[in-house]
Chain A
Amino acid sequence: MSLRALTLGLAVASGCAPAMTGYVPQHVAQAELTLHYDGRMRIDSGGQPLAWGPRYDGLAEHVACVPRAHEHARKAQRMGRWRRGLAWTGGALGVASLGGLSGFAFIGSDPTTAFTLLGSGLGAAALGIIMAGSSRAAGNRAHGNAIDAMNFYNDAVGSVGGRCGARPPIAAPSLVEGPLVEGPLVEGPSPPPRAVMIGPTRGSL
């Protein structure tokens, strides 16, 4: 059971569960990304769950044809990994710091050892706080980058009915300012050979 699941379970049991999104978007383009929250940030593609925060696995591949979106999605994944690692380490240090209380066993016989243990506990707890706080910052960056990736992708491709192809075009030109490509629109399950079907000329849908 993950730390998040445990926390969520405790929150539900105590009646403090986080609010979740209840509205399901009705009119979404076939590969358009939408944001949801079900105790975790969730990004859907065309109404189907695509990636969950803070790791957002799968998001970078989905938006690979829009360079800025791809860049943000990769940052989101990287920050998500940091979030998880730092949170686990910080939490573990917080728990381990309680071991410092064993110093009480020596308070009468060996005060030096007693205070050394208590001090170690305090140090571990302080380090745990720093790491846990850093994990929150990493989590915020993961969410922020993922939502930015979603917005850049939707502006260029997603909200106008397009989608990225199967192969990520590394050298694809920026679509944001490009001319409108009157190419075949992707319909159905078969993606076209090129990554991008369509890009808006101005404004955005």
Chain B
Amino acid sequence: MRRLAALVGVIALATGCGYQSRYSPPDGWRARPVYSGNDVEWVGAQQVPRCASEVEEESVQGWAAPPPMVIDERGRWARGGVHVHLWHVGPHPRLHPVYPAYGFIPNPPGPHRLLFPGLGAARGGRGFWSSSGGSSSGGGKGAGMVAALALAIVVVASSGIAVGLAADPPEDGDVAGSIDSINRFNDEARRKIAACYEAARAAAPPTPGAAEAAVEVEVVEEAGAW
């Protein structure tokens, strides 16, 4: 049994089987790259968040938010200067809508679909065993030469395959496009969140002399969206 498992393992390795990630993205709006098979796939958020003011729904009070992040003067993604306290007001706490004070709709919880399913299908490096059937039509130098030639062709082809497999990178050729898409999306989402946050901060009443301001904001809940 152990030998069989080892054999299966060797065959799987020899065919260049891909990687299957166990990473599961948490809720949030950030897109993540995940390596699946031999390709980079997009998991996590798929839509740029919306500001609260952009959604006209029932408003409730929210609670618990990750630290506010903004785009600073140098363009970096950094913590905002205002810390926002949120609390829940209602019959009982609900676990789903985490609506931060800085005014954007977080990405609904999972399940997170792959945006480009199928792109990451592992490419099976198929074995290249060509069956060049040698003709065994009696002895003689002619038959020996034919067999030797066939063997030589197989050797040359196998050699090329070995060198090609060794030199060719295992990752799929279009990983760059997937990575660019993810990075571009995250920038776009952060610009949007920063804009929402700035709008929420501007709308909040000023708290003179306080480094942190407790701000109540509206929480927008989309029915069935969480």
Interface residues of A (CB under 8 A from B): 3-4, 6-7, 18-30, 32, 34-37, 39-41, 46, 83, 86-88, 90-91, 93-95, 97-98, 100-101, 103-104, 107-108, 111, 114-115, 118-119, 121-122, 125-126, 128-141, 143-148, 150-152, 154-155, 159-161, 180, 185, 198, 200-205
Minimal beta-carbon separation of A174 from chain B (angstroms): 13
> Complex formed: what's the CA distance from A205 to B68 in Å?
9
Do residues B14 and A202 form an inter-chain contact, with CB atoms below 8 A? no
Do residues A133 and B16 form an inter-chain contact, with CB atoms below 8 A? yes
In the complex, how many residues of chain B place their beta carbon closer than 8 angstroms to a beta carbon of chain A?
A: 81
**Residue in chain B with minimal CB distance to A3:** B167
Do residues B21 and A147 form an inter-chain contact, with CB atoms below 8 A? yes
> Complex formed: what's the CA distance from A22 to B184 in Å?
10
Cβ of B60 within 8 Å of any chain A Cβ, yes or no, is no
> Complex formed: what's the CA distance from A199 to B152 in Å?
62
**Residue in chain B with minimal CB distance to A26:** B187
Given the complex, which residues of B lie within 8 Å of A24, measured CB to CB? 183
Interface residues of B in 162-207 (CB under 8 A from A): 162-171, 173-177, 179-180, 182-184, 186-187, 190-191, 194
Please judge, given known A-B contacts A3-B167, A22-B180, A118-B148, whether A129 and B78 are in contact too, CB under 8 Å. no
Do residues B180 and A202 form an inter-chain contact, with CB atoms below 8 A? no
Given the complex, which residues of A lie within 8 Å of B168, measured CB to CB? 7, 136
Please judge, given known A-B contacts A133-B15, A145-B19, whether A125 and B28 are in contact too, CB under 8 Å. no
Do residues A155 and B13 form an inter-chain contact, with CB atoms below 8 A? no
Cβ of B103 within 8 Å of any chain A Cβ, yes or no, is no
Q: From the candidates A19, A28, A152, A160, name the one contacting B76 in the complex (CB within 8 A).
A: A28
> Complex formed: what's the CA distance from A102 to B171 in Å?
36
> Complex formed: what's the CA distance from A180 to B171 in Å?
37
Do residues B16 and A137 form an inter-chain contact, with CB atoms below 8 A? yes
Q: What are 14 residue pairs bridging A and B, where the CB atoms are less than 8 Å apart in the complex?
A: A23-B184, A28-B76, A29-B76, A29-B77, A34-B183, A97-B158, A107-B148, A128-B163, A132-B165, A133-B14, A137-B170, A143-B171, A161-B77, A203-B27
Do residues A143 and B152 form an inter-chain contact, with CB atoms below 8 A? no
**Residue in chain A with minimal CB distance to B32:** A151
Cβ of B18 within 8 Å of any chain A Cβ, yes or no, is yes
Given the complex, which residues of A lie within 8 Å of B113, measured CB to CB? none
Cβ of B161 within 8 Å of any chain A Cβ, yes or no, is yes
> Complex formed: what's the CA distance from A26 to B185 in Å?
11
Cβ of B121 within 8 Å of any chain A Cβ, yes or no, is no
Given the complex, which residues of B lie within 8 Å of A88, measured CB to CB? 166
Cβ of B214 within 8 Å of any chain A Cβ, yes or no, is no
Please judge, given known A-B contacts A94-B159, A135-B166, whether A144 and B141 are in contact too, CB under 8 Å. no
Minimal beta-carbon separation of A38 from chain B (angstroms): 8
Please judge, given known A-B contacts A18-B169, A23-B180, A137-B170, whether A129 and B158 are in contact too, CB under 8 Å. yes
